[in-house]
């Protein structure tokens, strides 16, 4: 506690509110458990105020009060002096450590130079071999071209011969069709002739039969003529004999003819009567059949009438009972009609009441929708005002995320380590941690519990991603120990759309927003680059030259240089920059970069990231209608995990990687401390990581840090260090974010902002 000369009150430092303490050079806070200073820290203004403070008292002759004030002042001075002594000891220790690190780096540089010379000699030999192979390949190419030319000539000749054959084939096919048509017509004619021949043969056979019949008839006619001649002669003889008798018979004949005529007349009359009698008989038979049918039907009806007569008494009784029932039903119907009228009136009343209730419910729904809309707008306004306050304040925003318990974890109860206060003032912003029986409370901009999904996490940063399209520089980086879920937060799980990380979701939002803004006249161009910082060496993850992108003895084929321009932009020389048009292209590049990234296995994580991964997208937008130009940069960074050598069990190359990671994170802590104390010199150049992120940490960028925590009780010490470091980061004040408008740079080099 430091007394200020303005109001004489005691105030707490920001780090004391969050329970944080100074961090040492190894990126872990220095413990003050046995120190009288505790978690108290002093700034230059506090020391000046303490030195220039004057003793004040109501009565200058009240020596007791003056002595008490003097004792309190001396106590604070001793506390400040002791804090300075401890800080001086820490600086001496850090200086000694830096000297040893400098000697180590000098030895490494010498080894790297020797390895580089050897590599240059190897590369020269490879270049000679490649030149020899190039000459032989050129000779082969000439031979192949000559052979190809000869083959092309023969191919042309064969093509011409094939064309002539095709033409002759077409003409022959036409002639063949004509011959086939003529053959078909000839076959039809032959068939018709054969049919006619068959008919003629049949007709000839029939004529022969008819001729034979005529011949037999002729012979028979000759015989009959002969017989007729004989009979005529006999008849002539008989005629002379009969002429005498003719006269007597003629008289008898006339009388018989007369009698025969009478008999014929009587016969005709009798025949007519018989026909009439037959017709009458048929008519009578028909009438008899009809009468029989009528008699049968009448008998059936008579039997029915008899049955009806027997059942009439029962039917009369039924009719009486049914009449009574009908009367009862009429009465019931009248009662039902009266009830129906009453129910109709009641239904009308209920309908009116229902309509009134419906109107009230609709009004309540409208009020509820208005309240929900006001709540949503209020939440948006709160977030906007909160972001505005942070932008005006210039602080780095900090989000805290605790990963869920995994099956491989040693303990399944993470509630013993972390708890989340439910007070409205600190809801979703506070986290409590219990370590060694002590409770530590921290307050951040947002705290995500283990059951929070990737989508809910992205919703909180979606507006920050939108700022990149609006022309701001945006930086989001994940910090935490190994195995705390940093890569999962940034990248997610491959092949599972529901668990995509912040980087894929940010890209989807950017391209969807670009499509939505096209009708407003906005046109955007995007460029992407990806790199990693491995053992304090920059490596291009999108390089197409595999030899230059691989590490051999810790040295790459290219040495990438970081430069800053006057506008606060960062340029990396010889870095691969890719123009992209869709999220699918960027996803392909991310997969390629993930395959090239350096990972390793430790005792703390099966797939541990051994380098700092930096994804950068530069967005340039032009509005054709307003001629407005914006230029934004989105930096998404997955830092390597901090780890203790005693816990990770790293040896050999893993040991060197761990030392390089801890050194870069320690440099990041030094930069944060310098910014928090507002020192004149900020050591950005102590590490490639801090020098690359200089505009994000000390410039006009919107910066957000995710501090990722592991719920394992065995990781509580590292989690506490991460929380304290995050609290110090949240207290840092950087430059106010500035929107880049009306800027069109002619330099095509990529900027990191």
Comparing CA positions, the residue from 479, 471, 598 lying closest to residue 524 is 471
CA distance 42 to 22: 11
CA distance 472 to 736: 11
Would the annotation count 85 as a binding residue?
Answer: no
Note whether 692 and 639 are within 8 A (CB).
no
Beta bridge partners of 617: 528, 634
Residues present in the chain in total: 753
**Cβ neighbours of 648 (radius 10 Å):** 22
H-only helix segments in 449-528? 454-469, 486-490, 502-516
- Please report which helix (H) or strand (E) contains residue 621, including its range: strand 612-623
Would the annotation count 690 as a binding residue?
Answer: no
Would the annotation count 481 as a binding residue?
Answer: yes
H-only helix segments in 628-706? 645-648, 653-676, 688-692, 694-698
Q: How far is CA 21 from CA 13, 16, 292, 721, in A?
A: 10, 8, 131, 9
Which residues have CB under 8 Å from 617's CB, separation 6+? 468, 507, 510, 526, 527, 528, 586, 633, 634
Would the annotation count 332 as a binding residue?
Answer: no
Comparing CA positions, the residue from 622, 621, 619, 602 lying closest to residue 610 is 602
Helix axes 583-596, 502-516, angle to 10 degrees: 160
Note whether 476 and 706 are within 8 A (CB).
yes
Would the annotation count 484 as a binding residue?
Answer: yes
CA distance 440 to 434: 6
CA distance 48 to 50: 5
- Please report which helix (H) or strand (E) contains residue 430, including its range: strand 430-435
- Please report which helix (H) or strand (E) contains residue 86, including its range: helix 63-393
Would the annotation count 735 as a binding residue?
Answer: no
Residue 541 burial by Cβ neighbours in a 10 Å radius (0-12, 13-18, 19+): buried
Comparing CA positions, the residue from 511, 476, 431 lying closest to residue 634 is 476
Comparing CA positions, the residue from 480, 415, 404, 410 lying closest to residue 724 is 480
Would the annotation count 570 as a binding residue?
Answer: no
Would the annotation count 419 as a binding residue?
Answer: no
CA 712 to chain centre: 34
Which residues have CB under 8 Å from 89's CB, separation 6+? none
Residue 639 burial by Cβ neighbours in a 10 Å radius (0-12, 13-18, 19+): buried
Note whether 732 and 395 are within 8 A (CB).
yes
Note whether 249 and 241 are within 8 A (CB).
no
Note whether 656 and 535 are within 8 A (CB).
yes
DSSP per-residue string spanning 99-141: HHHHHHHHHHHHHHHHHHHHHHHHHHHHHHHHHHHHHHHHHHH
Which residues have CB under 8 Å from 149's CB, separation 6+? none
Torsion, Cα of 213, 217, 219, 223 (10° steps): 160
φ, ψ of residue 735 in degrees (nearest 5): -65, 155
Binding residues: 480-487
Binding residues for ATP: 480-487
């Amino acid at each position: 506690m430091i007394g200020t000369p303005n109001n004489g009150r005691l105030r707490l430092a920001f780090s004391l509110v969050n329970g944080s303490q100074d961090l040492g050079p190894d990126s872990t806070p220095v413990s003050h458990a046995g120190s009288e200073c505790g978690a108290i820290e002093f700034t230059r203004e506090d020391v000046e105020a303490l030195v220039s403070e004057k003793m004040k008292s109501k009565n200058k002759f009240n020596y007791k009060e003056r002595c008490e004030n003097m004792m309190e002042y001396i106590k604070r001075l001793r506390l400040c002096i002791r804090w300075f002594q401890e800080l001086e000891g820490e600086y001496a220790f850090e200086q000694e450590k830096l000297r040893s690190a400098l000697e180590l780096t000098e030895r490494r540089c010498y080894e790297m130079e020797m390895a580089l010379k050897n590599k240059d000699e190897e590369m020269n030999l490879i270049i000679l071999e490649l030149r020899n192979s190039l000459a032989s390949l050129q000779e082969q190419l000439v031979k192949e071209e000559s052979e190809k030319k000869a083959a092309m000539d023969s191919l042309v000749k064969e093509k011409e011969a094939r064309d002539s054959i095709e033409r002759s084939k077409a003409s022959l096919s036409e002639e063949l069709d004509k011959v086939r048509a003529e053959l078909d017509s000839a076959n039809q004619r032959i068939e018709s002739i054969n049919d006619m021949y068959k008919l003629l043969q049949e007709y000839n056979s029939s004529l022969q039969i008819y001729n034979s019949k005529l011949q037999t008839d002729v012979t028979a006619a000759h015989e009959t003529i002969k017989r007729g001649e004989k009979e005529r002669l006999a008849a002539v003889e008989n005629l002379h004999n009969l002429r005498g008798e003719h006269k007597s018979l003629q008289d008898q004949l006339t009388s018989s003819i007369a009698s025969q005529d009478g008999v014929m007349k009587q016969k005709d009359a009798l025949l007519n009567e018989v026909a009439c009698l037959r017709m009458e008989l048929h008519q009578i038979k028909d009438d008899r059949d009809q009468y029989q049918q009528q008699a049968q039907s009448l008998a059936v009806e008579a039997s029915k009438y008899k049955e009806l007569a027997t059942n009439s008494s029962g039917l009369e009784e039924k009719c009486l009972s049914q009449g009574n029932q009908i009367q009862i039903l009429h009465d019931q119907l009248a009662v039902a009609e009266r009830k129906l009228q009453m129910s109709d009136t009641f239904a009308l009343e209920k309908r009116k009441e229902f309509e009134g209730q419906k109107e009230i419910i609709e009004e309540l729904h409208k009020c509820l929708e208005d309240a929900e809309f006001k709540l949503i707008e209020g939440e948006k306004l709160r977030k906007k005002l909160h972001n505005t306050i942070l932008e005006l304040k210039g602080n780095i925003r900090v989000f805290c995320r605790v990963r869920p318990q995994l099956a491989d974890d040693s303990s399944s109860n993470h509630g013993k380590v972390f708890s989340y206060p439910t007070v409205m003032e600190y809801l979703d912003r506070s986290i409590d941690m219990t370590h060694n029986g002590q409770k530590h409370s921290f307050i951040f901009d947002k705290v995500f519990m283990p059951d929070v999904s990737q989508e809910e996490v992205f919703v909180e940063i979606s507006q920050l991603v939108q700022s990149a399209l609006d022309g701001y520089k945006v930086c989001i980086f994940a910090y935490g120990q190994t195995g705390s879920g940093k890569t999962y937060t940034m990248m997610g799980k491959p092949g599972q759309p529901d668990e995509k990380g912040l980087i894929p979701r940010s890209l989807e939002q950017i391209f969807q927003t670009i499509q939505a803004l096209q009708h407003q006249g906005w046109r955007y161009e995007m460029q992407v680059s990806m790199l990693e910082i491995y053992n304090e060496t920059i490596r291009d993850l999108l390089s197409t030259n595999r030899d230059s992108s691989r590490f051999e003895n810790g040295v790459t084929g290219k040495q990438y240089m970081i430069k800053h321009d006057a506008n606060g932009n960062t340029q990396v020389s010889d870095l691969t920059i890719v123009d992209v048009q869709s999220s699918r292209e960027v996803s392909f590049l991310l997969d390629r970069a993930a395959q090239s990234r350096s990972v390793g296995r430790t005792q703390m994580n099966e797939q541990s990231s051994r380098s700092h991964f930096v994804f950068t997208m530069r967005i340039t937008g032009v509005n054709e209608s307003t001629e407005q130009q914006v230029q934004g940069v989105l930096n998404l960074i997955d830092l390597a995990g901090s780890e203790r050598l005693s816990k990770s069990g790293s040896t050999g190359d893993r040991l060197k990687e761990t030392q390089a990671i801890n050194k870069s994170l320690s440099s990041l802590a030094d930069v944060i401390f310098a910014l928090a104390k507002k020192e004149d010199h900020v050591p950005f150049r102590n590490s490639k990581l801090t020098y690359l992120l200089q505009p994000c940490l000390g410039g006009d960028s919107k910066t957000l840090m995710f501090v990722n925590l592991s719920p394992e009780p065995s990781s509580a010490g590292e989690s506490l260090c991460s929380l304290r470091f995050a609290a110090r980061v949240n207290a840092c004040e950087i430059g106010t974010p500035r929107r880049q408008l009306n800027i069109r740079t002619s330099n095509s080099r990529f900027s990191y902002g």
